[in-house]
Amino acid sequence: MNAPRGPDRLDRLVENLARIERRTAERYDHAARRFFDVPEPATPVAASLRVRLAMVRHARGAREEAVRERRLAGIRDAAERAAARAARVDERIGELLERRAMLRRRLDAYLAYARREAYERDGRPLEDDVLNARHERAHAALYTGPMDLDQAERLVQRFVAAVRRRFPEVTP
């Protein structure tokens, strides 16, 4: 069977674009409540491309055929550009979420390390006002939104540095 051409192929391309735009909008809504520097997705264009595609389908006549092909190419190009833009925004949002997750893991690992070392060394739970205060600030920065990830990273680094100063003999 031959591969579908023209509007049929474009229908799938535009529907795929609509899915990408919905996913990016959902991820943006999720991330915008959590971070200050979330890139905004472009205005969705799938609906307008559907209308343009329907108009092209109704073009008739020999003169219209050349116009029809140019319009189909324009719709295809617009859909591909919009999908690429949405993918870039989606990728950036994914990077923000992954960076936050990495910082949370690092904060948790160093807290566990500090607690273990304190218990092994002193035989009791960690009692260090400086470490506790630094951990609380870093934790609040990572779990309260919207957040400035650069500031949260600096707070995690300060906590890690304080743990390393307190327990210099071993690092996680």
| Closest residue by Cα to residue 129 from 149, 150, 114, 113 | 114
**Tokens of residue 63, six digits:** 């003169």
Ranking 16-20, 54-58, 74-78, 133-137 by mean pLDDT, the lowest is 54-58
**What is the rounded average pLDDT of the residues 142-154?**
94
**What is the rounded average pLDDT of the residues 49-55?**
90
Mean pLDDT for all residues in the chain: 89
What band does 60 get if pLDDT is binned at 50, 70 and 90?
Answer: low
Separation of alpha carbons 133 and 147, rounded Å: 18
Q: Is the pTM of this model over 0.75?
A: yes
Judge whether 72 and 6 are in contact, CB under 8 Å: yes
CA angle 32, 37, 41 (to 5 degrees): 60
pLDDT above 50 (res 4): no
Strand partners, 143: none
Helix axes 129-143, 62-122, angle to 10 degrees: 160
Judge whether 96 and 145 are in contact, CB under 8 Å: no
